[in-house]
Chain A
Amino acid sequence: MKLKELAFARSSDKGNHVDIGLFAYTEEGYRLIERQITAERVAAYFAPLGIGAVERYEVPTIWALKFVIRNALDGGASRSIRADNQGKTWSGALLRMEIEPRPCEKNER
């Protein structure tokens, strides 16, 4: 299923970096995104947009992951010529990622 079913997100710019907060609707959902939405996967997903390194941070008390995508905005919102110069819609792009609803089953069997 799409990540959108399990979580919502908000993104924006800070200098040349895009900053995305990803928030699971439930604790169970958090466990799924915490396991599956890794920094490596996010880096590969956004690679076509021309990005640098991706960092991921976890805030489990609010079921949230934080992604910082470095050097993603052609020098920053004020010098970018993109329609989405601030990366405000990267949250939506992230929510289109596929997520496996029950990743534990294989391990348990």
Chain B
Amino acid sequence: MGFYGDTFLPALEMIQKEAVDYICFEDLAELTLAILQKDRQRNPAEGYTKDLVPMLRACWKEARAKGIRLITNAGGLNPRGAAEAALAVARELGIEARVAVVEGDSVLERLEEFRPFPHMETGEPLPEEVRRRALFANVYLGARPIVEALKTGADLVITGRVADAALFLAPLVYEFDWSFDDLQRMAIGTAVGHLLECSSQVTGGNHGGRWAEIPDLDRIGFPIAEVSEDGTAIITKTPDTGGRVSFDTVREQLLYEIHDPRAYATPDVVLDFSQVRLAEVGPDRVQVSGVVGHPRPERYKALLGYEDGYMGQALIGYSWPDALKKAQATEAILRRQLERMRLPLQEIRAEYLGYNSLHGPLADPAQADQLNEVYLRLTVRTSDRRAAEQVSRVMVPLALGGPPTASGFIGFDRTRALLGIWPSLIDREPVDAGVRISVLEVRT
């Protein structure tokens, strides 16, 4: 899986077809920990990605029977809680289970040890007013603790925050007994992990190229890497599924979210893709080579998330004729009303869905007068939750008291908490000293 909320059915298909030895489930985007923190505040037993439970219910029994091991960062902010939930599933399924838990990525309770927790880009020390609003602070651990967890014989490994690619590198290190000093193997193993970690984004999903030619997205397959001890690596997907693995889909994912392709830093190795070779060696099979590895960074990357106000939003749509003009008139009305309400707003933003909500000032103005319909989306930023909620309601009376042809779909009351992100680079030793691996079991 590629994020919290992704479908696990393609993973089940992989198990049924016995296409793999390991399946890695990557569940934690940058924002996910903020969602999990709210869950944990409500219930201390939570704080992990809850779709772990239905995934295990559907997949675990058959995976165990076929000797397929599962590795996931679904533990989020509470890996032990996730393991307890997993054991409950094992009892329910009537299977024996051995779950290894990796803990120690959270440093929220230990921030003092890592002062000044400087900002990764500016070097600025963590301000006290940001620290006070911190919701989580987690280190991106590497593959080492996952390898240790695999050595316990666990058939399910649950971690908190780890580098996404490390989930995939770990079973290769474990199976082939690769050395962490072998930069070439670390590089190809991590590159493979990077290609797989966004699930169907490498098998034809979200493909910017000739996307309409990608077959059967309704049953898109998840990616598989076939890796040999010598570091030969082929990216493919579950047999007889939709989607495609090609030069185009693989190169597109290779450069995804990595910044400088000559220096993509992960906890285990720094990758250089500048000489990469991708060869289509069969239908839906692409061989990856030429990835160069440099020694791992001196420090770990950590990410602290903090409360940073609220977003209120409201939505209203108008039809032809003059759809855009009507929506613009409504924006002007709302701005005057909000000013009169004297709400403590830091930012008011108007976007026109169907016209410029995505590209803003870069949208093509040529069609502005001929649009069939336009929605005004008005958003505000405020430090006051109630102010945000009020904004969501001001739109409603405009159905009768504003410009004509307003649609019935109005209001859109969804206030959202905003989250600030403070990335830092911190010393490895105290982090590593706090990493713990434990094993929990169910025996029948």
Complex interface: chain A residues within 8 A of B377 (CB): 83
Binary contact track B178-197/A, C-beta < 8 Å → 1, others 0 = 00000000000000000000
State the total of A-B contacts with C-beta under 8 angstroms: 129
Return the chain A residue nearest B419 by Cβ.
Answer: A78
Binary contact track A26-65/B, C-beta < 8 Å → 1, others 0 = 0000000000000000000110110000010111011110
* Cα(A78)–Cα(B274), bound, Å: 31
Q: Contact: B261 with A57, CB < 8 Å?
A: yes
Q: Which of A8, A9, A62 contacts B254 (CB 8 A)?
A: A62
Binary contact track A48-92/B, C-beta < 8 Å → 1, others 0 = 110000010111011110101000000111110111100001011
Complex interface: chain B residues within 8 A of A8 (CB): 207-210, 248, 252
Number of residues from A at the complex interface, CB < 8 A: 41
* Cα(A58)–Cα(B207), bound, Å: 20
Return the chain A residue nearest B357 by Cβ.
Answer: A83
Complex interface: chain B residues within 8 A of A83 (CB): 351, 353, 357-358, 377
Return the chain A residue nearest B206 by Cβ.
Answer: A10
Task: Please list the 5 inter-chain residue pairs (A to B) with the smallest Cβ-Cβ separation, ordered nearest first.
Answer: A21-B255, A48-B361, A78-B419, A8-B209, A8-B208
Q: Is the interface of B mostly helix, strand, loop or mixed?
A: mixed
Stretch in B7-15, B275-283, B327-335 with 4+ CB within 8 Å of A: B275-283
B168 in contact (CB, < 8 A): no
Return the chain B residue nearest A83 by Cβ.
Answer: B357
Q: Is the interface of A mostly helix, strand, loop or mixed?
A: mixed
Complex interface: chain B residues within 8 A of A10 (CB): 206-208, 252, 255-256
* Cα(A68)–Cα(B429), bound, Å: 31
Number of residues from B at the complex interface, CB < 8 A: 53
Q: Contact: A59 with B208, CB < 8 Å?
A: no
Q: Tell me whether A66 and B261 are in contact in the complex, defined as CB-CB below 8 angstroms, given that A48-B362, A61-B277 are known contacts.
A: yes
* Cα(A16)–Cα(B419), bound, Å: 12
Complex interface: chain B residues within 8 A of A13 (CB): 257
Chain B nearest CB from A67 CB (Å) reads 10
Q: Contact: A59 with B276, CB < 8 Å?
A: yes
B262 in contact (CB, < 8 A): yes
Chain B nearest CB from A1 CB (Å) reads 16
* Cα(A79)–Cα(B277), bound, Å: 38
Q: Contact: B261 with A19, CB < 8 Å?
A: no
